[in-house]
Amino acid sequence: MTKNVHVGLIAAVFVLLFLATSFAGCTSQTPVTPVTTPTAAPTAVPTPAASQTLVIATTTSLYDTKLLDYLQPIFEKKYNVVLKITSQGTGKAIELAKNGDADVLLVHSPSQELAFMKDGYGLNRRSFASNSFVIVGPANDPAGIMNMTPEKAMTTILLKGTNKTAGISFVSRGDNSGTHSAEKNVWSKAGYNYTANVEKSGTWYIGAGKGMGETLQMASEKGAYTLTDEGTYLAYKSNLNLVPVVSKGASLLNIYSVMTVYNDKQPADKIQMANNFVNFLIDPEIQKDIGNFGVEKYGKSLFIPMSVSVPTATAGWVGDYSTPATAIAPAPVVTTVPVTTAATAAGTK
């Protein structure tokens, strides 16, 4: 009997241990994994499109008058483009464009421009403004050329200069610029060969090799005559001892034109942006701005826009000024085979 009691007690202990273990298992807490709320990715801020750069090769007269300074921010804001403007004489500006170092050419030498276009370096030539060249000199006019024709005035200066008349000298741009080209045109119309009869004819004739503003300052310091575009003269007038002495004559016409530079390495989007600048200059609103430029400061406009007056000039000198610039490559050259040649070739097969 005692043995049975012991067995019963042992069994009871095992039952109690089992129940205790089960109870502990039921009351234990399962670790809770914390729930995290996904963090939203930051909203991307759009990056503004990078501004395109457009290089403009231009003449010093457009730079010295500050016309381009006035127009530049208007164009840049409208097209989100940065203009880089480099100014020098027309000849050097053309060379820059030919070398592919400019996107737009903005000059005033029709004969050089037409050659540039003919050689395939340019597209969409448009004339956008004009003014006049003037011969300026000392107020006492030592050569006595006041109100002469340009050709007679230059002839008189040359004759008195080569005869070493006191106080007679002429300062030339001497840099193959548009103004220098206009000067040589006057000499030609006066009957002189520039290279043979003028360029090295004596100390009276001085080649500055500088821009228009610097040439005017040199002429003022020397008490000499010079040929200048009217706009630059007005811009510098207050600092010069020079007055206009000859301002009328067909050979004094000054036409400004713009064209897109072309070469086979030029991206189409760059050519299109250059076309935008060409169209910008002939836009009616910008033409009004050009016509008003300088009036407040100088009492007259420095430039006459094509929308106001189209000058009478040598055939081809005034470019189109109303048709939008759209060409992005030169027109293909169409070669036609003479009918007789084609027929002969067919007969030999």
Query: For residue range 133-144, what is the model confidence (pLDDT) as tens digits?
Result: 999 999 999 999
Q: Do the strands 122-137 and 243-246 form a parallel or antiparallel pair, or are they unpaired?
A: antiparallel
Indicate whether 248 and 137 sit together in one domain. Answer: yes
Q: What is the mean pLDDT of residues 72-89?
A: 95
Hey, what's the torsion of the CAs at 181, 182, 188, 191, to 10 degrees?
Answer: -140
Indicate whether 126 and 138 sit together in one domain. Answer: no
Q: Do the strands 104-107 and 52-58 form a parallel or antiparallel pair, or are they unpaired?
A: parallel
So what's the pLDDT on residue 334?
67
Decide if pLDDT at 279 tops 50: yes
Indicate whether 174 and 238 sit together in one domain. Answer: yes
Indicate whether 284 and 247 sit together in one domain. Answer: no
Indicate whether 177 and 100 sit together in one domain. Answer: no
So what's the pLDDT on residue 273?
97
Task: Name which of 102-106, 146-150, 291-295, 341-345 the model is least confident about.
Answer: 341-345
Query: For residue range 5-55, what is the model confidence (pLDDT) as tens digits?
Result: 444 434 444 444 444 444 344 444 444 444 444 444 445 444 445 679 999
Among candidate residues 191, 224, 252, the one where a domain is terminated? 252
So what's the pLDDT on residue 336?
64
Indicate whether 259 and 126 sit together in one domain. Answer: yes
> What is the CATH classification number for the domain harbouring 239?
3.40.190.10
Indicate whether 199 and 141 sit together in one domain. Answer: yes
- Overall domain count for the chain: 2
Indicate whether 230 and 292 sit together in one domain. Answer: no
Instruction: Extract the tokens encoding 105.
Output: 């050419």
> What is the rounded CA–CA span in Å between residue 124 and residue 132?
24
Residue 122 forms part of a structural domain: yes
Decide if pLDDT at 344 tops 80: no
> What is the rounded CA–CA span in Å between residue 87 and residue 110?
18
- Range of the structural domain that residue 203 is part of: 133-252
pTM for the full predicted model: 0.80
Residue 278 forms part of a structural domain: yes
Residue 10 forms part of a structural domain: no
Are 97 and 266 contacting, i.e. CB atoms less than 8 angstroms apart? no
So what's the pLDDT on residue 264?
86
Task: Name which of 28-32, 60-64, 192-196 the model is least confident about.
Answer: 28-32
Q: Give the chain's length.
A: 349
